[in-house]
Amino acid sequence: MVIAQEEVVAGFDPVLAPLIIGLPLAGAVILLLFGKRIGRFSGLLACGTIGLAAAIGLLNFIALLGAPEESRTATQHVFDFVSVGGFQTGVDLLLDPLSLVMVMVVTGVGTLIHIYSIGYMHGDPRYPRFFAYLNLFASFMLLLVLADNLLLLYVGWEGVGLCSYLLIGFWFDRPSAAAAAKKAFLVNRIGDFAFLIGMFVLFGAVGSLTVGQINASAGALSAGVATTAALLLFAGATGKSAQIPLYVWLPDAMEGPTPVSALIHAATMVTAGVYMVARFSPVFEASGGAALTVVGVIGAATALWAALMACTEYDIKRVLAYSTISQLGYMFLALGVGAYSIAVFHLVTHAFFKSLMFLGAGAVMHALDGNTDMRHMGGLRRAMPVVGYTFLVGWLAISGVIPFAGFWSKDAILAAAWVEGNYVLWGVGVFTALLTAFYMSRLYLRVFEGPLRTPEGTHPHDAPRTMAAALVPLAVLSVVGGVINLPVLLTLEHFLEPVVGESHAPEGALAFILSGIALVVGVGGIMLARSMYMMSGAEARRARLVRPMRPLVNGARRKFYIDELYGRLIVLPGKSFASFCADVLDRRGIDGIVNGTATLIGRTSQGLRHIQTGYVRNYAATFLFGVVAVFSFLILRVVAG
Amino acid sequence: MTEVAPAYYLALAGLMFSIGVIGALVRRNAIVIFMFIELMLNAVNLMFVTFSRIRGSVDGQILVFFVLVVAAAEAVVGLAIILVIVRRRASANVDDVSLLRW
């Protein structure tokens, strides 16, 4: 008894946890209401709220590390949310290693991107509004990762979707931005719908929505129910995390301001699906392999598919967008082979180096008057050294060069696929790694190396201080991010073990062979890009290499006609059905009934009004006739008895 | 003085009322129609008095007073309207006043 009490005292005690969500939310509310009056201080306010949230997150993280390993989970009840009959759902926050890792990523990267936005959005007429949305996004994302039950998680899930819509369409006066925002929202809705059904299935089977109870009773679910629920949840993840078949919104989402692309469409929101699958890993496990196989195959296919398109894209932001889809595919590949902690590891390192590269691309756009076409750029590293060198770090990290962060996490994913015996997934992953190194090198070499080339009429300048203030820390993290999960120390994996279980790492010589292959492939991709874009005679070599693959290259350049296919298969029938409803059902059917009634009454009164002659005698005669009729009736009734 | 059977009063009242109805329907002069309407009212009054007598209660006679008062008021309003019509149209023909129609 005494021992048990001591354990409670020594356990992890959350510090001000509701404020992690509350502060950015308060910032958003204040900025939405008084943004105009706050004016140019909006950026500072937004940075302050998210910065404080990050500080509180860090306090909790330290408190968690101080707690003994077996008691590193705490839930905190904030207030009752839904309480109907026997159904109780509160706003409960779950603080455990997994959610706090996510909190650190969201608030850490989020703070840096908020600071960057001060410089990037400077002079925008709706500057306060931007920070309001950014803060709102942060609070919803934090709600998503801290939620202790599916319903609350779904609130955050929908909330980040809403913010994504608002921020993609932030420059809504551009028709392309408005269309992209609409597309992102609608495609996400498809996934969200499946997610909602999955939630119902789980509630029906388990009778509770809390994370703890769902995961605890997942093992008792029948394989069929577990597979259904897991696949529905995963369908939600394919929408939010841009996997096949719902990835089409992410490249278009690049219409939003670049900090948004970095924060929402690279570092945080798109990883919500990965987080969710890791969070409910027991449900996926309970399906007996079927659901996890789907997750892994979809992940690997997406990784390869998006990498192919990234190889031919000329828009620097869209290359990064396809790269994000591809890297998310890696994360799902890791989830699919049961290496949940490694997926989260890659999520963290990817958040560092991908947001770094997005912010770098934003700095390039900022310097070149919004130009994004890499064909008009070259040698920018010398014109803007801070951006150039930080981007160099991001490039080496994603290409998988030792010792940068991306090497460790990507290597760990490939190794996990091999150890689990999924040699096909491993092969796809390795080939994608080659493509990744190739397309990122293509981007980096064309934009930052070689002779200086800029679009006409632009004068590149280095990033302003606020932007550099975000780039440098992210670059440092991209270099050293790998240490959080060094193969010998296994810290992050071990840290996440209580939540997602352990994953198997290769041992002995196999580990070094697999790492060696990953490294060789990464360097090979870089060398290939170098020979095709940098060395003398690159043009001729490129033409020779491309010629046999002409159909593939052309297809990739047209995004494999997927948008057109979806347009034909889904959008067009939808539109035809809508216009059938509007023109036939509504205009002829419903309106026909309404207008028909009016016409009928109109015609009838047209006929009846001829009775109204205006002659008093006629009225009097009618009156008399009526009286006689009524009286005859009454008298007849009396007579008849 | 011999009692006259109530049936005669009722027959007279019915006759007066019928004359009033037919007159009001066939005549065109507003004043004349008005007089026929008064005739109908008085036929009804006669009937009230007769029934009052038959039933031995005064209710009918009280009602007659109401009818007289309302008829007087109605005569004032009606005559005023007729007067206005005559001023505007220089005729009391009701068929000339047929603007309120389709």
Return the structure tokens found at A232.
């529905």
Is B58 buried (19+), middle (13-18) or exposed (0-12) by CB count in 10 A?
exposed
Residue A7 banded pLDDT, cuts 50, 70, 90: very low
pLDDT tens digit sequence for A17-72: 899 999 999 999 999 999 888 888 999 999 999 999 999 999 998 888 888 877 78
Secondary structure of residue B8 in the 3-state scheme: helix
Residue A546 banded pLDDT, cuts 50, 70, 90: confident
Mean pLDDT of the A204-231 span: 90
Distance CA A528, CA A536 (A): 13
Q: Quickly tell me which residue has 């890659």 as its tokens.
A: A346
Report pLDDT for A8: 44
pLDDT of A4 above 60: no
* B24 chain-A contacts, CB cut-off 8 A: 620
Q: What is the DSSP letter of B5?
A: P
Closest partner residue to B102 (CB to CB) among A612, A616, A617 is A612
Secondary structure of residue A421 in the 3-state scheme: coil
Mean pLDDT of the B58-69 span: 92
Contact B101 A617 (CB under 8 A): no
Q: What is the DSSP letter of A220?
A: G
Closest partner residue to B98 (CB to CB) among A615, A620, A624 is A615
Instruction: Please give, rounded to a whole number of angstroms, the shortest distance from the CA of B34 to a CA of chain A.
Output: 12
Contact B98 A609 (CB under 8 A): no
Distance CA A366, CA A118 (A): 13
Distance CA A196, CA A240 (A): 13
Distance CA A428, CA A433 (A): 8
Instruction: Judge contact between A43 and A114, C-beta under 8 A.
Output: yes
Instruction: Please give, rounded to a whole number of angstroms, the shortest distance from the CA of B98 to a CA of chain A.
Output: 4
Residue A118 banded pLDDT, cuts 50, 70, 90: very high
Mean pLDDT of the A556-585 span: 89
Instruction: Judge contact between A429 and A414, C-beta under 8 A.
Output: yes
Distance CA A406, CA A399 (A): 7
Give the predicted TM-score (pTM) of the model: 0.80
Q: What is the DSSP letter of A586?
A: I
Report pLDDT for A509: 81
Report pLDDT for A5: 40
Residue type at A460 in one-letter notation: P
Q: What is the DSSP letter of A89?
A: E
Mean pLDDT of the A500-518 span: 80
All residues at 6 or more sequence positions from A456 whose CB lies less than 8 Å from its CB, including other chains: none
Residue type at A611 in one-letter notation: I
Alpha helices in A271-422 (DSSP H): 272-279, 281-286, 290-310, 316-336, 340-367, 380-383, 385-399, 405-419
Instruction: Please give, rounded to a whole number of angstroms, the shortest distance from the CA of B38 to a CA of chain A.
Output: 15
Return the structure tokens found at A305.
């598919």
Return the structure tokens found at A196.
């909602």
Return the structure tokens found at A278.
């890791």
Return the structure tokens found at A215.
């995961």
Distance CA A590, CA A242 (A): 40
Q: Quickly tell me which residue has 């026909």 as its tokens.
A: A592
Instruction: Judge contact between B45 and B71, C-beta under 8 A.
Output: no
How large a percentage of chain B has pLDDT more than 90? 55
B→A contacts (Cβ < 8 Å), by residue, are 21, 24-26, 28, 33, 94-95, 97-102
pLDDT of A505 above 90: no
